[in-house]
Chain A
Amino acid sequence: MAGSGGEQTISGYIQHHLTNASVGEGFMTLHVDTLAWSVVLGLVFILSFRAAAKKATVGVPGKWQALVEIIVEFVADTVKSTYHGKSPLIAPLALTIFVWVLLMNLMDLIPVDFLPTLASLIAGESWETIASGQSHTYMKVVPTTDVNMTFALSIGVFVLMIFYSIKIKGFGGFMKELYAHPFNTPWLYWFNFILELVSLLAKPLSLSLRLFGNLYAGELIFILIAGTMGLWQLPLHFIWAAFHLLVIPLQAFIFMMLTIVYLSLASEEH
């Protein structure tokens, strides 16, 4: 329906699609769409996996159990090959991150106008307002295109990194890693500290921004194609979706993998 609304401009169309449905002001703003979709997808993950776990049999597994076991074993193997310590948390954490991020990324494949239009209709707006881009109902359906989402994940991981560092090396060991690392001479400790602090903080930052950037860019291209290409958007969307099909699991895997790597770095003595 892009471009057919007369008064609607391309930038307006894109702007509309990139605005979150939010309540509140300033820092207390809540992105309702991000929260709702991520929680719904998280529930889809834990409830469906819980269903498999409840009925898990040692004998011949059902189809769903088989699929869940494939995913669980894949994650377990990845964790086992990277994280050498023993922790009951790392593997479930990796599984949660992988499946949850994958599900959220998959929302990208739903046609860009589908859910926003549906939301507008439910909110009681007329076809004309929606088509002309005047709708005041906003709906951004891919939670991982919201920095709040990706930062929440990476900050969770960051907290765990520091927790494991202190737990395994002690507070002194953790600090020592920060100031005594590349140059082990006392008069360069301040330099080390700056260097290591930057590298420590860069980890969660790059982790979240990588996921956000990839998905945001992918979503933007979808919106751009929908907004500018008329009927040509059909084959173009197909091509971009096929390409995006690689990006979606890859980004979920990278996020999981880096989480494991960071945590294994945090819990190993150098």
Chain B
Amino acid sequence: MNINFTLIGELIAFIFFVWFCMKYVWPPIMGAIEDRQQKIADGLAASERGEKDLELAQQKATEQLKEAKTQAAEIIEQAKKRANQIIDEETQRGHVEREKIIAQGQTEIEAERNRVKEDLRKQVAVLAVAGAEKILAREIDAAAQSDIVEKLVAEL
């Protein structure tokens, strides 16, 4: 336990080391640590923001997908409806056409029948006259008796 001048020397060394540490060692190291902490905090915040953005984007995408699906379904529905409509219309038109064709056919048939009937009537008239001529076997004025024949024919 002998206190001597060494103490003063050590005191000077101590003061110098503390001064040097305070001036040249502590600030840069602490600065680097604090800057890095700041950087890490910023990075974490940015990643959190990114995560949120991603979530939002996913949500949006899901929504859009849903919307697209609905729209597609709507379009399909519309197309089906339109197809049914077209089919209905065509059927209708087919019907009408058929009716028309049938009606036309019937008129044609009717006309033909009338014509045939007329023909027949004329031939029957001729036949009747010929028949009467043969039956009577005598000269009869065809012209004089034609009103009778006409009456006969009309009764057919």
Contacts and interface: CB of A to CB of B under 8 A. Distances in A.
Contacts of A93: 18, 21-22
B26 A92 contact: yes
Interface of A: 22, 24, 26-31, 34-35, 38-39, 42, 45-46, 49-50, 52-54, 56-59, 61, 65, 68-69, 72-73, 76, 88-89, 91-93, 95-96, 100, 143, 146-149, 151-153, 155-156
A74 to B, nearest CB: 11
Contacts of A89: 18, 22
B22 A49 contact: no
B32 A56 contact: yes
Which of B8, B29, B36: most chain A Cβ within 10 A?
A: B29
B4 A27 contact: yes
A49 B21 contact: yes
Contacts of B35: 58
Contacts of A28: 4-5
Nearest to B17: A42
Contacts of B15: 156
Given A46-B25, A155-B11, A146 B6 contact: yes
A215 B49 CA distance: 55
24 contacts: A24-B4, A27-B5, A29-B6, A34-B10, A35-B13, A38-B13, A46-B24, A46-B25, A50-B20, A50-B24, A68-B29, A91-B30, A96-B17, A96-B18, A147-B2, A148-B7, A152-B7, A152-B11, A153-B10, A153-B14, A155-B11, A156-B11, A156-B14, A156-B15
**How big is chain B's contact interface, by range?**
20 to 34
B1 to A, nearest CB: 6
Interface of B is mostly: helix
A250 to B, nearest CB: 21
A85 to B, nearest CB: 16
Contacts of B28: 53-54, 56
A91 B26 contact: yes
A112 to B, nearest CB: 21
A60 B15 CA distance: 33
A92 B25 contact: yes
A61 B33 CA distance: 10
Interface in B32-75: 32-33, 35-36, 39
B10 A149 contact: yes
B20 A46 contact: yes
Contact of A148 (B3, B17, B18): B3
A38 B36 CA distance: 34
B61 to A, nearest CB: 36
Nearest to A33: B6
A88 B1 CA distance: 35
A143 to B, nearest CB: 8
A42 B18 CA distance: 10
A151 B32 contact: no
Contacts of A88: 22
Contacts of A50: 20, 24-25
B24 A147 contact: no
Contact of B39 (A24, A39, A58): A58
B22 A35 contact: no
A53 B14 contact: no
Given A49-B21, A72-B30, A152 B14 contact: yes
